A and B are shown apart, each in its own frame.
Chain A
Amino acid sequence: MITSMKQDSQAGHVPAASTPAAPSAAPSTPPSNPSNGPRELPAFAVKDLNLFYGTHRAVQEVNLEIPNRSVTAIIGPSGCGKSTFLRTLNRMHELTPGAHHTGTILMHGEDLYRAGIDPTLVRRRVGMVFQKSNPFPTMTVAENVLVGLRLNGVKDKSLLRERLEQSLRMAALWDEVKDNLHKSGISLSGGQQQRLCIARALAVRPEILLMDEPCSALDPIATAKVEELIHEIKKEYTVVIVTHNMQQAARCSDRTAFFYMGKLIEYAETKAIFMNPTQPQTEAYVSGRFG
Chain B
Amino acid sequence: MTSTNHRFRQGVNLAMNTLFVCCAILVVSPLGFVLFHLVSEGARSINLDFFIHLPKPPGQSGGGMGNAIAGTFELLALASLVGIPVGVLGGIFLAEYGGERMNGWVRFWADVLNGVPSIVWGMVAYSLVVLPMKSYSAYAGGLALGFIMIPLVLRTTEEVLVLVPRSYREAALALGLARWRMIVRIVLPTAMRGIITGIMLAMGRIAGETAPLLFTALGNDFWSRHLAEPIAALPLQIFAYAISPYDDWHRQAWAGALVLVLLILALSIGVRLLSRDKSRRA
Contacts and interface: CB of A to CB of B under 8 A. Distances in A.
Given A138-B189, A151-B185, A124 B168 contact: no
A221 interface: no
Interface string B161-173: 0000101111111
Contacts of A197: 171
A95 B170 contact: yes
A132 interface: yes
B190 A148 contact: no
B177 A120 contact: yes
Nearest to A197: B171
A138 B176 contact: no
- By size class, the interface of chain A is 20 to 34
A136 interface: yes
Interface in B260-282: 281-282
Contacts of B181: 151
Contacts of B175: 123-124, 127, 147-148, 151, 200-201, 204
A121 interface: yes
A36 interface: no
A138 B190 contact: yes
A94 to B, nearest CB: 10
B interface SS class: helix
Contact of B176 (A121, A132, A134): A121
A65 B165 CA distance: 34
Contacts of B168: 134, 136-137
B31 interface: no
A123 to B, nearest CB: 4
Contacts of A137: 168, 190, 281-282
Interface residues on B, range: 20 to 34
Task: Pick the most buried of A122, A130, A151: most chain B CB atoms within 10 A of its CB.
Answer: A151
A3 interface: no
A136 B190 CA distance: 8
Contacts of A247: none
A105 interface: no
A204 B176 contact: yes
Interface of A is mostly: helix
B178 interface: yes
A152 B177 contact: yes
Nearest to B281: A137
B190 A120 contact: no
B179 to A, nearest CB: 8
A140 to B, nearest CB: 12
B21 interface: no
B171 A92 contact: no
Contacts of A152: 176-177
A50 interface: no
Interface in B146-194: 165, 167-179, 181, 185-186, 189-190, 192
Contacts of A125: 176
A66 interface: no
A130 B175 CA distance: 12
A194 B190 CA distance: 19
B174 A123 contact: yes
Nearest to A121: B176
Given A138-B189, A138-B190, A124 B176 contact: yes
B186 A201 contact: no
A130 B165 CA distance: 13
Nearest to A210: B174
A95 to B, nearest CB: 7
A121 B281 CA distance: 34
A74 B168 CA distance: 24
A91 to B, nearest CB: 9
Contacts of B281: 137
A141 to B, nearest CB: 15
A253 interface: no
Contacts of B169: 95
Interface of A: 90, 92, 95, 120-125, 127-128, 130, 132, 134, 136-138, 147-148, 151-152, 197, 200-201, 204
Interface of B: 165, 167-179, 181, 185-186, 189-190, 192, 281-282
**What 7 pairs between A and B have smallest CB-CB spacing?**
A124-B176, A148-B175, A128-B174, A134-B167, A123-B176, A138-B189, A134-B171
Given A132-B167, A147-B172, 12 more contacts: A92-B174, A95-B173, A120-B173, A124-B175, A127-B174, A128-B170, A130-B167, A138-B190, A147-B186, A148-B175, A201-B174, A201-B175
